């Protein structure tokens, strides 16, 4: 059982240690403010369908080269570089049941060598290789980009590579991230993007580069400021479960490349105990009954003067693997360069909240997903229907 879970969880960024993450308030490599203004009166976007892998990884299609070579990549707001496996790449901890696609530069008429090596280290695993230039097609639009042709990869999950969406200040070798290239070339009209993450493939997930699609959320979007521009760092006012507050960290990274909610070890352990979960040291995970009634987790983002409460439902933070249930939460003591403790708000939260990364206006927006509201409405509908048909007969 645990071996199977370990295989599934190979894509998760989980670190059980004291980690210091350097964050920059002043970003040297951002475009000047004037470039943030809309280029045309029409809204130009690129929409990418996302596929859910056991609620642990969300991947989408891109192509590179001429003629086009197809790849499935993880769209990651926690990194800034685009890379895919090269044709001669070696891979450790690969999923043996999955066929990986590998980039063949010799088969592309638009390939240009760069000659620069790169090395990227993630929360789990690393990638090395060399930079190249070629045509990228994503969401129906095409531009030439510089990206990594990986020669050595570890822990790739089920993706052929990673499409980084974070600020350029995180970019290895200062490569201009593909999102910025798309905007600079007019392929997208706004320097923003938004995620709708589905759950267990019950509906289509989408990544929209350059726009917002209101059909994926209900009501209005709530915006909170990005307070550090490298990763997408926002203020965290409170985390509350069963009426108890857990506030040892006042900052959070919103990261599509992290499967779980990751918080200070003591806080996560206390939350797990509060919901009746049991820690297993061999797997490093918290297990819980699949039939237990679990409470909502309330994550309040912002600060004391301006904040908004985001509800994380049990269906998002309790995951089921062949009848064994566990919490999609992990403890890790993560600090920025100013020694501020931080949470990582990963896919668990983003499943319940349509998330807008508005780079131009230095803010992140959250809207309650229509998938969640539809489920609640349907449940109420059937309850009322059963009452009318049987109870009130």
Closest CA relative to residue 73, chosen from 207, 184, 204: 207
Residue 361 DSSP label: T
Residue 173 DSSP label: G
Active site residue 76: yes
Catalytic residue among 255, 347, 352, 358: 255
Q: 117 is written with which tokens?
A: 């090596």
Q: 86 is written with which tokens?
A: 């090269």
Q: Cβ neighbours of residue 134 under 8 Å, at least 6 residues apart? A: 64, 65, 66, 105, 108, 110, 111, 112, 144, 145, 147
What is the H or E stretch that residue 265 is in? Answer: helix 265-274
Catalytic residue among 76, 134, 336, 347: 76
Kind of pairing between the strands at 353-358 and 285-287: unpaired
Distances (CA, A) of 74 to 3, 80, 161, 315: 23, 12, 6, 23
Q: 359 is written with which tokens?
A: 């780079």
What is the Cα–Cα distance from 147 to 164, expressed in whole angstroms?
10
User: Which residues are marked as active site?
Assistant: 76, 255
């Amino acid at each position: 059982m645990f071996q199977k879970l370990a295989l599934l969880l190979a894509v998760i960024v989980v670190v059980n240690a004291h980690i210091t993450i350097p964050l920059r308030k002043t970003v040297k490599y951002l475009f000047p403010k004037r470039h943030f203004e809309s280029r045309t009166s029409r809204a130009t976007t690129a929409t990418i369908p996302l596929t859910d892998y056991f609620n642990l990884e969300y991947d989408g299609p891109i192509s590179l080269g001429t003629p086009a070579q197809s790849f499935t990549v993880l769209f990651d707001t926690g990194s800034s570089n685009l890379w895919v496996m090269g044709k001669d790449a070696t891979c450790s901890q690969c999923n043996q049941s999955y066929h990986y696609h590998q980039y063949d530069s010799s088969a592309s008429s638009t390939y240009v060598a760069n000659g620069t090596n790169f090395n990227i280290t993630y929360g789990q695993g690393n990638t090395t290789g060399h930079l190249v230039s070629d045509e990228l097609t994503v969401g129906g639009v095409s531009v030439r980009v510089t990206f990594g042709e990986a020669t050595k990869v570890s822990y790739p999950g089920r993706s052929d590579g990673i499409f980084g969406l974070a600020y350029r200040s995180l970019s290895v070798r200062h490569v201009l991230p593909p999102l910025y290239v798309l905007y600079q070339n007019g392929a997208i009209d706004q320097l923003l993007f938004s995620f709708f993450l589905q759950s267990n493939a019950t509906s289509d997930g989408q990544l929209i580069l350059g726009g917002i699609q209101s059909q994926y959320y209900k009501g209005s979007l709530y915006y909170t400021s990005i307070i550090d521009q490298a990763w997408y760092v926002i203020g965290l006012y409170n985390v509350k479960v069963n009426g108890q507050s857990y506030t040892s960290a006042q900052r959070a990274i919103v990261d599509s490349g992290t499967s779980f909610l990751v918080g200070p070890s003591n806080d996560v352990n206390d939350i797990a105990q509060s919901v009746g979960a049991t820690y297993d040291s061999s797997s490093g995970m918290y297990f819980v009954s699949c039939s237990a009634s679990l409470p909502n987790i309330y994550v309040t983002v912002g600060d004391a003067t301006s904040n908004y409460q985001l509800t994380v439902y049990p269906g998002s933070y309790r995951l089921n693997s062949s009848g064994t249930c566990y919490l999609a939460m992990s403890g890790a003591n993560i600090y920025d360069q100013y020694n501020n403790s931080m949470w990582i708000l990963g896919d668990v939260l983003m499943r319940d909240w349509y998330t807008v990364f508005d780079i131009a206006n230095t803010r992140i927006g959250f809207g309650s997903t229509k998938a969640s509201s539809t489920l609640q409405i349907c449940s109420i509908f059937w309850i009322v229907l059963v009452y009318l048909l049987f109870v009130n007969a």
